[in-house]
Structure 1
């Protein structure tokens, strides 16, 4: 029960890298300096004016110092996004009497215009609301609110973010492309994934991705380099096998087995004992045959996997060449073959694994 709850909670978490303690502290110190210095300068510049600083800058600081590589944190987004939101917010405050309608319309229009001008900046939504709900001090400013505190705060925080990130060795603002010498792809990109390939894929996306094209290029190049370094001249079963194997246990009951087959949408699974030693396989066909043989349905449900499994299993070793597997997949229509070492199940090779690696070899031979 607790395991199921933990798994459910994990589905709510983002697939986000947790930085080291040092990097987290650097981000926090950056936000501290950025907000403190920009607030102090604004206060001095505006002679202690009550609304010298606005809360949305805290949200901007999160982006500028914690995720400076995000497309939403680039200078254009900070300045243009906040400016658009300030103008729309003030306009709605002046022309729409109902506050709820005013700030709702302000945020909606700001989102539309920011996306239209490629200046989406999440904290700008709060800027629009501040313009509507900021009270008398803000309303008395009128459109001057856009210049100060919005634009003043944004520019000061941005300048400090540029200086701080550069001082810490981080590239900010982000570069436009990987190859700084030429507009052409890099040498590695020319023989793998090129920028135009990424652009074509991104053009088909219907959702806004919070990652820049530059970062995608960099990640793909690094991954390609690691993949090439790992690539052997002749693939073995250990090179392509899936190590995280979904399997059944000999004491599992038939009713539980059916639930697992339904959950993972597979027709056959390996069976192991408590020592992870492979002792058989069980196909959905075997379960159906069990029900056909047993006239008493209750007795059939009480069967365990070890009672109906197939104990004759074809296995391979991790150092075995994958070429030896082709007859099993082609002539005998195997869906997968277990990989064992010292009788223990350490992985499986599926038909999809074979197709993928053979396709890669065909591509390489055709170059």
Structure 2
């Protein structure tokens, strides 16, 4: 019986306790901020302050912010469209249950057509029809208050909370290359057109972004290749004489180190040699402004960093470094390929069990190792295929 009942439990993506706490705290902050601001702006109880569908919106915005159903256009467009449909149905159809049914059906059709599907919007349409005399008296004013006001305030809180706590929101599609070539990770294995055809055959709406689904499948593919290939590790190919830079080092110092040692990347480490990030030539070119005296922080980046950190930047390495997830010496090189490809990195720091920098692996280090895997006569066919795939 237990086995039978367990089949009805959904298989949710495994997440950490920290992520669960962050979701709960975000929903608390979102609803509280929305309610308090609306009550302060209203100044009376003549109009509804907070409508129930915002609770469902909070679940999406703070618990599954990567969902296509939780993006800014989804909540704003979906709630406003549903409110318009609900008010119209309530005004033109006498029977409330017929009006509610029509409102839900038409709202879903319009939201799907406008690409702003948001499940809580169904409750918004229902509220517009069955919300009682106070809601009906508002007429189309219900669309602006409380629906649009609640949605905008909740969305603003989600933007601030998610980004301040380390999430990226809204969930944007990864930037692709500015050439006709597909990304390196997409040149082997299944094609994007294969995924599109499979999704078309499945013919059901999935609560996952298509680009996220493609990345997940490619990671699975590379893990399979890595498991089947020979286990050459980072320790065998990494450079051990690593030049690092302190987070408070001026940009000019980072540039001097790159030029002096003829390297293209500098791990940023604290006093304990723990990796905080990495500064590359691309970071200096894209994130710094240049004049005759060398690199400096431009006004736009200064303002952005001030807003993110709550303090003024100092024009140092920490202000332009890229986030990076170091690997351990025992990490198989097949694991590095998807990480470097997806993040657009050419270098990955290697750290020991205590998180201290012990080496760095570059794409140049990977090439001979992958070629040796591919050309080893004793390697199994699947291992040689894996190495060629990773090299491509």
3-state SS of the aligned residue for 2:202? Answer: coil
Give the deviation of 1:218 after TM superposition: 2.0
Higher relative contact order (CA 8 A, sep 6+): 2
In structure 2, the partner of 1:12 is: 8
User: 5+ residue gaps in structure 1?
Assistant: 235-356
Query: 1:81 offset after TM fit, Å?
Result: 0.6
Range 357-366 or range 15-24, more displaced: 357-366
Residue 78 of structure 1 contacts residue 154 of structure 1 at CA under 8 Å; is this kept in 2?
yes
- Deviation string for 1:190-242 (max 9, x for gaps)? 122343332232233311111111211221232233222212369xxxxxxxx
1:208-287 aligned within 5 A? 208-232=205-229
CA contact (8 A) 2:225 2:383 kept: no
Matching of residue 95 in structure 1 with residue 96 in structure 2: no
1:40 is the counterpart of 2:40: no
Moved more, 164-173 or 31-40: 164-173
Kindly tell me: are residues 181 and 142 of structure 1, through their superposed partners in 2, closer, same or farther at Cα, counting changes over 3 Å?
Answer: same
Pick aligned residue for 1:149 from 125, 146, 150: 146
Spell out the pairing of 1:343-354 with structure 2 (5 A cutoff).
none
Q: Distance in 1 between matches of 2:208 and 2:66?
A: 8
Q: TM-score, normalised on structure 1?
A: 0.60
Alignment CA distance shift 1:199-1:29 (3 Å): same
Distance in 2 of aligned mates of 1:139 and 1:181: 52
Contact kept? 1:178, 1:186, Cα under 8 Å:
no
Query: Which residue of 57, 66, 70 corresponds with 1:60?
Result: 57
Alignment partners' CA distance in 2, 1:36 and 1:103? 29
Name 2:198's counterpart in structure 1: 201
1:161-176 mapped onto 2 (5 Å cutoff) = 161-176=158-173
The answer to which of 120-129 and 42-51 deviates more is 42-51
Are the structure 2 counterparts of residues 161 and 181 from structure 1 closer, same or farther at C-alpha, using a change threshold of 3 Å?
farther
Residues 1:27 and 2:18 aligned together: no
Question: Would you say the 8 A contact 1:81–1:114 is kept in 2?
Answer: yes
Distance 1:51 1:193, change over 3 A: same
Give the equivalent residue in structure 2 for 1:129. 126
| CA contact 1:84–1:110 (8 Å) conserved in 2 | yes
Find the aligned partners of 1:109 and 1:79 in 2 and give their Cα distance.
17
Whose radius of gyration is greater, 1 or 2? 1
How much has 1:362 moved relative to structure 2? 8.6
Post-superposition Cα deviations, 1:69-121, rounded to whole Å, max 9, x if no partner, equal 11111111101110111001101111111111111111111111111111111
Distance 1:362 1:173 in 2: 38
SS of residue paired to 2:162: helix
Q: For residue 295 of structure 1, what is the aligned residue in structure 2? A: none
Q: How many residues align?
A: 241
CA RMSD in angstroms comes to 2.7
Choose which of 82, 96, 112 in structure 2 pairs with 1:85: 82
Larger displacement relative to structure 2 (123-132 or 160-169) = 160-169
Residues 1:115 and 2:112 are matched in the alignment: yes
Write the distance in 1 (CA, Å) between the matches of 2:30 and 2:127: 21
- For the residues of structure 1 that align with 2:155 and 2:184, how far apart are their CA atoms? 35
How far is the alpha carbon of 1:180 from its aligned partner?
6.5
Secondary structure at the counterpart of residue 206 of structure 2:
coil
**Distance across 2 between alignment mates of 1:32 and 1:180:** 39
SS in 2 for 1:12: coil
TM-score (norm 2): 0.57
Offset, 1:64: 0.3
Deviations, residues 296-335 of structure 1 (Å, cap 9, x unaligned) = xxxxxxxxxxxxxxxxxxxxxxxxxxxxxxxxxxxxxxxx
Conserved? CA contact 1:178–1:214, under 8 Å = no
* Matched-pair contact (CA < 8 Å) for 2:23–2:62: yes
Task: Answer yes or no: is the 8 Å Cα contact 2:78–2:116 preserved in 1.
Answer: yes
Query: In 2, distance between residues paired with 1:359 and 1:231?
Result: 6
> Using a 3 Å threshold, how does the CA distance of structure 1 residues 362 and 172 change in structure 2: closer, same or farther?
closer
- The question of 1:51 aligning with 2:57 is answered no
